[in-house]
């Protein structure tokens, strides 16, 4: 039983990362009906930028680990947001009215571009995040050992997700985003600048993905230039699991997928860990293509 809870908390921590990346997919899909294949690579850019800033600025030495990491995270979030903005401007906006397939190919091209740009800038070999940035404390909760980093990661994910939920559901900007997701034409008629909404979506989504990238670096220690692909696909699975286009759905889907994967790795086979996620993906699409919270999306697709 303890093993079970151990895996459960592990799954929730990883699930938080999936959820953060999934939010980027789901927001873009909600508004543009486009799978942003380059999203996973933006996440990788976040991880690498985080490492570079961490080692070059020496923030954690000057202001302490927690504050330093926070400043770092903010910088990464902004930078990756800018990359996302540029990506949409260059690769997707000119294709807004083209057949869907063109946008898919453009997204794949952007993904290849980013992956190789990362490889050229940072090298093809895996890089390692510095050790011991966060104190290695383990909290014991009813016999389940919870490393501090796992708690912090999960907490940050939850805070970011709640922030996004507040933004999209309680503010004017969020209303505009949701309106554009339902019907761009009607949103335009209501005086919403849809282009700006799309730009915004392409900044928020990648920014969250960038934050997830830094978290993966801190959690696993090792990053490499191809990792965005696998994380991206899993996060996309999470987005579909929850109901694509649905923001709370992406959060839920991410957490569920993380837990399923951890339990699957522990009780079935670690070698088949990645296959489990894809199997989940296929099963959902066959059985319930709208996802768990997908009712609202049904009228949009």
Partner 1 sequence: MIIKKQDILYLAGAALFACSPLVLDAYWTDVLNNIGLYAILALSLNIILGQCGLFQMGHAAFFAVGAYSSAILNTMFDIPLLWTMPVAGILAGLFGLIVARPIIHLRGDYLLIVTIGIVEIIRIALINDVGGLTGGANGIFGIDRPILFGLKIKRPHQFFYLIWGFCAATIFLFHRLENSRFGRALNYIKDDDVAAEGSGIDISRYKLTAFVIGAFWAGMVGTIFAGKMKIISPESFSFWESVLLFTIVILGGMGSIRGVLLGAFLIIGLPELFRDFASARMLIFGAAMVAMMIFRTQGLLPPLPRRYDVSRFFSKAEGEQS
Residues that bind partner 1 (CB under 8 A): 33, 35, 90-91, 94-95, 98-106, 108-117, 119-120, 229, 233, 236-237, 240, 271-272, 274-275, 278-279, 281-282, 285-286, 289, 301
* CB of residue 298 to partner 1, shortest distance in Å: 12
Cα distance between residue 121 and residue 105, in whole Å: 24
Q: Which residue has the tokens 């050229």?
A: 120
* CB of residue 35 to partner 1, shortest distance in Å: 6
Closer residue to partner 1 in complex, CB, 35/59: 35
Closer residue to partner 1 in complex, CB, 1/270: 270
Nearest by Cα to 148 from 132, 128, 129: 132
* CB of residue 108 to partner 1, shortest distance in Å: 6
Cα distance between residue 149 and residue 145, in whole Å: 12
Cα distance between residue 293 and residue 287, in whole Å: 14
* CB of residue 186 to partner 1, shortest distance in Å: 23
Within a 10 A sphere around the Cβ of 266, how many other Cβ atoms?
A: 17
The tokens for 115 are: 């992956």
The tokens for 277 are: 């996620």
CA atoms within 13 A on the CB side of 58: 2
Closer residue to partner 1 in complex, CB, 217/232: 232
Closer residue to partner 1 in complex, CB, 81/291: 291
Closer residue to partner 1 in complex, CB, 98/138: 98
* CB of residue 171 to partner 1, shortest distance in Å: 29
Closer residue to partner 1 in complex, CB, 201/281: 281
Q: What is the DSSP string of 15-63?
A: HHHHHHHHHHHHHHHHHH----TTHHHHHHHHHHHHHHHHHHH-HHHHH
* CB of residue 67 to partner 1, shortest distance in Å: 37
* CB of residue 34 to partner 1, shortest distance in Å: 8
Closer residue to partner 1 in complex, CB, 110/251: 110
* CB of residue 254 to partner 1, shortest distance in Å: 16
Contacts of 174 (CB under 8 A, 6+ apart): 166, 167, 168
Closer residue to partner 1 in complex, CB, 127/274: 274
Q: Are 254 and 16 in contact (CB under 8 A)?
A: yes
Q: What is the DSSP string of 98-147?
A: S-HHHHHHHHHHHHHHHHHHHHHHH-SS-EEPPTTSS---EEEETTEEEE
């Amino acid at each position: 039983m303890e093993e079970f809870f151990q895996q459960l908390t592990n799954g929730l921590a990883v699930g938080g990362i999936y959820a953060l990346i999934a939010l980027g997919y789901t927001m873009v899909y909600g508004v543009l009906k486009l799978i942003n294949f380059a999203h996973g690579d933006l996440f990788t850019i976040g991880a690498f930028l985080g490492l570079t800033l961490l080692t070059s600025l020496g923030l954690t030495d000057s202001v302490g680990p927690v504050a330093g990491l926070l400043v770092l995270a903010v910088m990464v979030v902004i930078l990756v947001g800018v990359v996302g903005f540029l990506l949409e401007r260059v690769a997707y906006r000119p294709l807004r009215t083209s057949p869907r397939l063109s946008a898919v190919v453009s997204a794949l091209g952007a993904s290849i571009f980013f992956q190789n740009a990362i490889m050229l800038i940072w090298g093809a070999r895996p890089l390692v995040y510095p050790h011991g940035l966060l104190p290695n404390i383990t909290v014991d909760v009813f016999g389940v050992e919870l490393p501090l980093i796992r708690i912090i990661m999960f907490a940050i994910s939850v805070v970011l997700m709640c922030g996004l939920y507040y933004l999209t559901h309680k503010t004017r900007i969020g209303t505009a985003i949701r309106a554009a997701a339902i019907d761009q034409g009607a949103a335009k008629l209501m005086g919403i600048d849809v282009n700006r909404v799309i730009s915004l979506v392409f900044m928020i989504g990648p920014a969250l993905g960038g934050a997830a990238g830094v978290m993966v670096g801190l959690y696993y220690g090792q990053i490499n230039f191809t990792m965005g692909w696998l994380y991206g696909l899993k996060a996309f699975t999470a987005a579909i699991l929850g109901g694509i286009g649905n923001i709370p759905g992406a959060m839920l889907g991410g957490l569920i997928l993380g837990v399923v994967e951890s339990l699957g790795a522990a009780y079935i086979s670690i070698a088949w860990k990645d296959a489990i996620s894809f199997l989940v993906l296929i099963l959902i699409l066959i059985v319930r293509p709208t996802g768990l919270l997908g009712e609202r999306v049904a009228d949009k697709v």
